[in-house]
Amino acid sequence: MKDILLFWIPWAWKGTQAALMLEKVWKTYTHLSTGDIFRWLVSNDNAIGRYVVDQMNGGKLVNDHVTIHIFNAYFYTAYSENKGMLIDGYPRTLTQLDALMDTVKEHNRDLLWIYFKLSDEQSLTRMMARARKGEDEETMNIRLQEYYEKTFPIVEKFSEHGNLITIDASGSIEEIHEEVMKHIS
């Protein structure tokens, strides 16, 4: 069984697709979402949660060191369940990618990489429609810039090697889901 890794440009409905996928594969896959983990940390009063809030409010990614250690803690817990993993929101930088590849190699895991592609204009439109209190277009542009500087190099690396499935995320949620399921069935 392969682990499935979801990549995206911001607001390409990756999280929605992960939830829809899990409805069909929940018995054989464990969902590992760094976004969910960070939201949980934020909802509890602790130093990591406060740090995550500061980063998110500025439109920035959480530090690699923190993200890698948090991901690995959850990975090892999920690994013990003997299921495939649906990895959602990680890695977001080349440093995180290196750490993930070490973990994957150590545990002899295979990965299926799925990238949700969307134009910058569509991404910004969706971001503004779902903006949280205090978020403005400047914050959204910082997020998009962070994506291109830190996350997109991962997409480029895997597309060069032919190990990346690209899904057009400009369609409806249902159309995107149908395309995703063709690749994981």
- What is the pTM (predicted TM-score) of this model? 0.85
* pLDDT at site 1: 66
Angle, CA of 8, 34 and 59, to the nearest 5°: 65
Give the domain ranges of the chain: 2-184
Q: In 3D, which of 150, 164, 163, 153 has the Cα closest to residue 115? A: 164
CA distance 35 to 41: 10
The single residue listed with the structure tokens 């190099």 is 153
The span from the CA of 36 to the CA of 177, in Å, is: 20
**Which parts of the chain have pLDDT scores under 50?**
none
pLDDT at 20: 93
Please report the pLDDT score of residue 162 as a whole number. 73
CATH architecture entry for 2-184: 3-Layer(aba) Sandwich (3.40)
Tell the residue number behind the tokens 């809030």, with chain if given.
53
Identity (one letter) of the amino acid at 184? I
At 96 the pLDDT is 95
